[in-house]
Amino acid sequence: MIYRNEHPDPQFERESFVNLNGEWDFGFSFKSKKYKFSQNEGTAEEIRSDESYPYKINVPFCPESVLSGIGHTDFINQAWYRKTVNIEKNGKLVILHFGAADYLTTVLVNGKCAGRHKGGYTSFSFDITDLVNDGENEIFVLCEDNVKDPLVCRGKQSEKKESSGCDYTRTTGIWQTVFIEYVPKNHIKSIKIYPNTEDCSVTVFAEFEGREPFSCDVFFEDKCVGSISRSGVCSNRFFEIPLNEKHLWEAGNGRLYTMTLRFGDDTVKSYFGLREVRLDGFKFLLNGKSVFQRLVLDQGFYKDGIYTAPDDEAMINDIRISMECGFNGARLHQKVFEPRFLYHCDRMGYLVWGEYANWGIDYSNPESVDVFINEWSEAVERDFNHPSIIGWCPFNETWDYKGKRQYDGLLRAVYQFTKAVDRTRPCIDTSGNFHVITDIYDVHDYSFDTEFFKNNYDRLMTEGVLYEHVLKDNPGRQKYNGEPVFVSEYGGIKWVSDKSIESWGYGEDVKTEEEFLERYKGLTEALIGNSKMLGFCYTQLYDIEQEQNGLFTYEREKKFGDEIYEKIREINCSKAAIE
């Protein structure tokens, strides 16, 4: 059985897509051995030999996962893959794509180096046309990873042998779809989409290879609502396309337009949402309307696939159960979610923040600036067109690194870079602390005394003063300057569904479902009723391994009776003061 056989990126889809998921030869090592690779010759023959492949692995699942067929959860410093692929070029370019592989990936094709990629969370590709022949070809992939390296972003992957606290099972190697595209020599390299709600139009910035006639047709529900055509275009061009029907992308209703772009013999299908986001005082505006962000923390872990959802339905279900609880979006936390998940957010009208898996990198080291921006830039570039992404947040809780103070220049540089490449969305420099320069001042607050919690945030309305425990406990480290306010982590109310494991959570003193609901109601209504509060994000949607503070189990089963979920929905859906 081949899992995940759908196209991994519906925003840039060609019919020539050939899925390479399924069984690959596989081997791994606990030690790191140095290998030399060059563009002209392949080395490391010892790990390409038959004797070095004792396993078969089911790509795209990481070897730590059950679905991979391996299920080895101890440290893996190196993992290597081999697959024989039949190729027929027919005069086309052959592009080899990886959805994501963690962390340093080297690809050999027929013994020669196709390229290397550093970073565990973003997509990359190599033109392998000159390395392949018609017929059978060998693809070899080496992935090297070390979650303890201070210049490696690990996210929530545990630095310890076992999972603990809010760190979980590691992901090594390939964890998203591998595929090949056959592409004409003259082709569309990339597109950026800029919707305009006021003029009812869309502007497409396209990057081309070669010179060819270009056309773009826009559809809504299979009806053509706009088109352009140009003869002999090349290089990089902007194209404005008026739309004769206006259908806004809104929370709970994606209303996506589809596009067919043609450049000579190359055809690409894509889509967009007609929407605008901006800040106005303390308000977050979606298409000019104040929308309170009723978010939940989603960390993108799956019991059988770890970082990788077993199928489309698993991704859709996570969005569905969230929306059924009255949430209108999520913080996609400490991970760059795959484009396929974002596609479902787009079409379902689900608000999300684009984040990165920053934990693990040394925030005190100026060298981290170059490392982080290189990886973060790929995430922003890849996901720019998704209407569901309503803001960027590259860092989360940049507590000092092993006793060394955070290097503020890192956060400032990343914020400024993000704003330079995307002026259409707000950017939070670091969620929780320590803020340096930010569009929204967000707070993490796991206080459980509901009266104390409410009184503190009421001062924002009555006195213009923001209570923030980080300000109190770490004087001088960050300053509130009157920005819009967002409590982006709160709650985390522990409710143990699996008594057999040693569990972890924030609030451990809740004993009954009624007590749980009373605390949820008190904390949440304190934020919804605050006329200067932009939104909230509850921790969290589902349990992950030992962390037992989800609203659902790790298997996405209900932890409470139906009436509790109905009450949660009622609380979440009540009209916010800022709306």
pLDDT, one tens digit per residue, over 213-256 is 999 999 999 999 999 999 988 889 999 999 999 999 999 999 99
370: phi then psi, degrees, rounded to nearest 5: -65, -45
Residue indicated by tokens 């590691």: 170
Rounded-to-integer distance, Cα 420 and Cα 415, Å:
9
Coil, helix or strand for 40?
A: coil
Q: What percent of the chain has pLDDT over 90?
A: 89
Hey, CA dihedral for 535, 537, 538, 541, is it positive or negative? Answer: positive
Rounded (5°) CA angle 442-445-451? 120
Tell me what the mean pLDDT of segment 256-261 comes to. Answer: 98
Rounded-to-integer distance, Cα 336 and Cα 117, Å:
16
Tell me what the mean pLDDT of segment 451-471 comes to. Answer: 93
Residue 471 has pLDDT above 90, yes or no: no
Rounded-to-integer distance, Cα 264 and Cα 188, Å:
9
Rounded (5°) CA angle 395-397-402? 110
pLDDT reported for residue 465: 92
Q: What is the DSSP letter of 539?
A: E
Residue type, 239: F
Token duo for residue 283: 């308000």
Token duo for residue 437: 């320069």
pLDDT reported for residue 36: 60
pLDDT reported for residue 46: 60
**Phi-psi group of 381: left, alpha or beta (phi > 0 → left; psi -120 to 50 → alpha; rest → beta):** alpha
Residue 212 has pLDDT above 80, yes or no: yes
**Phi-psi group of 305: left, alpha or beta (phi > 0 → left; psi -120 to 50 → alpha; rest → beta):** alpha
Q: Does this chain's domain 22-176 share its CATH topology with 187-275?
A: no
Rounded-to-integer distance, Cα 53 and Cα 83, Å:
11
Token duo for residue 60: 């795209």
Coil, helix or strand for 199?
A: coil
Q: Which CATH number fits domain 187-275: 3.30.565.10, 3.40.190.10, 3.20.20.10, 2.60.40.10?
A: 2.60.40.10
Residue indicated by tokens 């596989």: 26
The alpha carbon torsion through 447, 570, 513, 432 (nearest 10 deg) reads -20
Rounded-to-integer distance, Cα 188 and Cα 344, Å:
24
Q: Which pLDDT band, with edges at 50, 70 and 90, does 152 fall under?
A: very high
**Are the C-beta atoms of residues 524 and 518 closer than 8 Å to each other?**
no
Rounded-to-integer distance, Cα 429 and Cα 353, Å:
12
| DSSP code per residue over 368-386 | HHHHHHHHHHHHHHHHTT-
Residue 39 has pLDDT above 60, yes or no: no
Q: Which pLDDT band, with edges at 50, 70 and 90, does 71 fall under?
A: very high
Rounded-to-integer distance, Cα 188 and Cα 263, Å:
7
**Alpha carbon of 114 to those of 36, 79, 128, 303: distances in Å?**
13, 18, 6, 34
Rounded-to-integer distance, Cα 191 and Cα 513, Å:
49
β-pairing, 430-431 with 395-396?
Answer: parallel
Counted residue by residue, the chain has a size of 579
**Phi-psi group of 173: left, alpha or beta (phi > 0 → left; psi -120 to 50 → alpha; rest → beta):** left
pLDDT digits 0-9 by tens, 304-317: 999 999 999 999 99
> Helices 368-383 and 408-421: crossing angle, nearest 10°?
30
Residue 30 has pLDDT above 90, yes or no: no
Residue 292 has pLDDT above 80, yes or no: yes
pLDDT reported for residue 502: 82
Report which of 431, 357, 354 is spatially closest to residue 391, judged by C-alpha positions: 354
Rounded-to-integer distance, Cα 398 and Cα 364, Å:
10
Q: What is the DSSP letter of 248?
A: B
Tell me what the mean pLDDT of segment 148-175 comes to. Answer: 96
Rounded-to-integer distance, Cα 488 and Cα 294, Å:
10
**Are the C-beta atoms of residues 261 and 297 closer than 8 Å to each other?**
no
Residue 281 has pLDDT above 90, yes or no: yes
| Burial category of 29 from C-beta neighbours within 10 Å (exposed 0-12, middle 13-18, buried 19 and up) | middle
Rounded (5°) CA angle 111-9-301? 90
Coil, helix or strand for 319?
A: helix
Architecture label for domain 291-573 = Alpha-Beta Barrel (3.20)
| Burial category of 319 from C-beta neighbours within 10 Å (exposed 0-12, middle 13-18, buried 19 and up) | buried
**Are the C-beta atoms of residues 390 and 353 closer than 8 Å to each other?**
yes
Rounded (5°) CA angle 194-424-324? 90
Coil, helix or strand for 97?
A: strand
Q: Which pLDDT band, with edges at 50, 70 and 90, does 416 fall under?
A: very high
The full set of domain ranges for the chain reads: 22-176, 187-275, 291-573
Rounded-to-integer distance, Cα 389 and Cα 399, Å:
26
Tell me what the mean pLDDT of segment 453-472 comes to. Answer: 92
Residue 377 has pLDDT above 50, yes or no: yes
> Within a 10 A sphere around the Cβ of 245, how many other Cβ atoms?
14
Token duo for residue 168: 């979980």
pLDDT reported for residue 37: 56
**Phi-psi group of 302: left, alpha or beta (phi > 0 → left; psi -120 to 50 → alpha; rest → beta):** beta
- In angstroms, the first-to-last Cα distance of the chain is 49
Tell me what the mean pLDDT of segment 89-115 comes to. Answer: 96
> Within a 10 A sphere around the Cβ of 49, how many other Cβ atoms?
11
pLDDT reported for residue 501: 75
Mean pLDDT over each residue of the chain, to the nearest integer? 95
pLDDT digits 0-9 by tens, 317-327: 999 999 999 99
Tell me what the mean pLDDT of segment 452-460 comes to. Answer: 96
pLDDT digits 0-9 by tens, 491-545: 999 998 777 778 888 877 788 999 999 999 999 999 999 999 999 999 999 999 9
**Are the C-beta atoms of residues 355 and 425 closer than 8 Å to each other?**
no
Residue 42 has pLDDT above 50, yes or no: no
Tell me what the mean pLDDT of segment 34-50 comes to. Answer: 58
pLDDT digits 0-9 by tens, 532-555: 999 999 999 999 999 999 999 999
Architecture label for domain 22-176 = Sandwich (2.60)
Lowest model confidence (mean pLDDT) among 43-57, 133-147, 198-212, 411-425 = 43-57
